[in-house]
Amino acid sequence: MAAMTISTLQKMKQQGQKIASLTAYDASFAKLMTSEGVDFMLVGDSLGNVVQGLDSTVPVQMSEMVYHTQLVRRGAPQAFVMSDMPFMSYASPQQAYQNAAQLMQAGANMVKLEGGSWLIDTIKGLTTRGIPVCAHLGLLPQSVNVLGGYKVQGKEQQQADNTLDQALQLEQAGAQLLVLECIPAALGKRISEALTIPTIGIGAGPDTDGQILVMHDMLGMNSDYLPKFAKNFLAESGSLAGAFRTYVEQVRDGSFPAAEHCYGS
């Protein structure tokens, strides 16, 4: 199988082929996901919640992101790997360049930043320096203290228009992918149709160009809480390999996410 690249993901959007991605944090799972057809993996700062047992992503350190990126790259040498820039690791463009370089040297193909138009100069600077960027709008877990909790974003018309406007600005600045988290399905569709870059949804409806879930959620490992937008694929398929394979198949054929996994406006 040819190595996945940004160009391949772009082509998938153009051809209407859905992109299936998951978070990964270690070599063994990265290897298994890749063998079952997952298109790309995100080394998420969600490791704070699901690996470290923290109640948010805010305490996750840069050194920890570098470490987990190295593990995932070892497990899947040919895979497309994206890594989160953790909380306050990109407060200034200069800081972003130095920290993103660490993630790229650890094995990432792309870095992900949370936030809107305040990131324009940073994104321009990163891409000029050869570091591909994925932007992230909607619910921003690193800003949970400002947002007042994990709530659906973009429900009011003005907020929805603003999210679309920021998405266009981020694309213009050079972002090559966009993650949309916890927004109404109609807004996910609107943004995906307006952009030329692929959109990857998590709780953003069925019309984004691809889907991403936290691995622990889609395996039903978080027994206390399963987000509305997630589904236990392990229970459905009975094995880890089967869970990843079923997830990819259902994203591809459009049966996931179904209506019950989506938010209305």
pLDDT 10s digits, 27-80: 999 999 999 999 999 999 999 999 999 999 999 999 999 999 999 999 999 999
The answer to whether residue 153 sits within a structural domain is yes
What is the domain-level CATH number for residue 51?
3.20.20.60
Residues 6+ apart with CB under 8 A from 158: none
Has 156 been labeled as part of a binding site? no
Has 56 been labeled as part of a binding site? no
| Residue ranges with strand state E in 98-153 | 110-114, 133-138
Quick: pLDDT tens for 236-251: 999 999 999 999 999 9
Cα separation, 30 vs 217, whole angstroms = 16
> What confidence score (pLDDT) does residue 12 get?
97
What is the total count of domains within the chain?
1
Tokens, residue 170: 């981020």
> What confidence score (pLDDT) does residue 79 get?
96
The answer to which of 119-133, 134-148, 173-187 has the lowest mean pLDDT is: 134-148
> What confidence score (pLDDT) does residue 75 get?
97
How many residues does the structure list for the chain?
A: 265
Has 165 been labeled as part of a binding site? no
The answer to whether residue 98 sits within a structural domain is yes
> What confidence score (pLDDT) does residue 67 get?
98
Q: Please, which pLDDT band fits residue 1 given cuts at 50, 70 and 90?
A: low
State mean pLDDT over 92-118. 98
Give the dihedral of Cα atoms 19, 23, 29, 30; nearest 10 deg: 60
pLDDT at residue 148 greater than cutoff 80: no
CA distances to 67, 116, 143, 155, 172 from 164, in Å: 34, 10, 19, 12, 12
The answer to whether residue 1 sits within a structural domain is no
pLDDT at residue 11 greater than cutoff 80: yes
pLDDT at residue 207 greater than cutoff 80: yes
> What confidence score (pLDDT) does residue 113 get?
98
The answer to whether 188 and 195 have CB atoms below 8 angstroms apart is no
The answer to whether residue 187 sits within a structural domain is yes
The answer to whether residue 155 sits within a structural domain is yes
> What confidence score (pLDDT) does residue 223 get?
66
Domain that holds residue 195: 6-261
User: In this structure, what DSSP letter does residue 110 have?
Assistant: E
Residues labelled as active-site residues: 181
Has 112 been labeled as part of a binding site? yes
The answer to whether residue 35 sits within a structural domain is yes
pLDDT at residue 262 greater than cutoff 80: yes
Has 207 been labeled as part of a binding site? no
Q: State if pTM tops 0.85.
A: yes
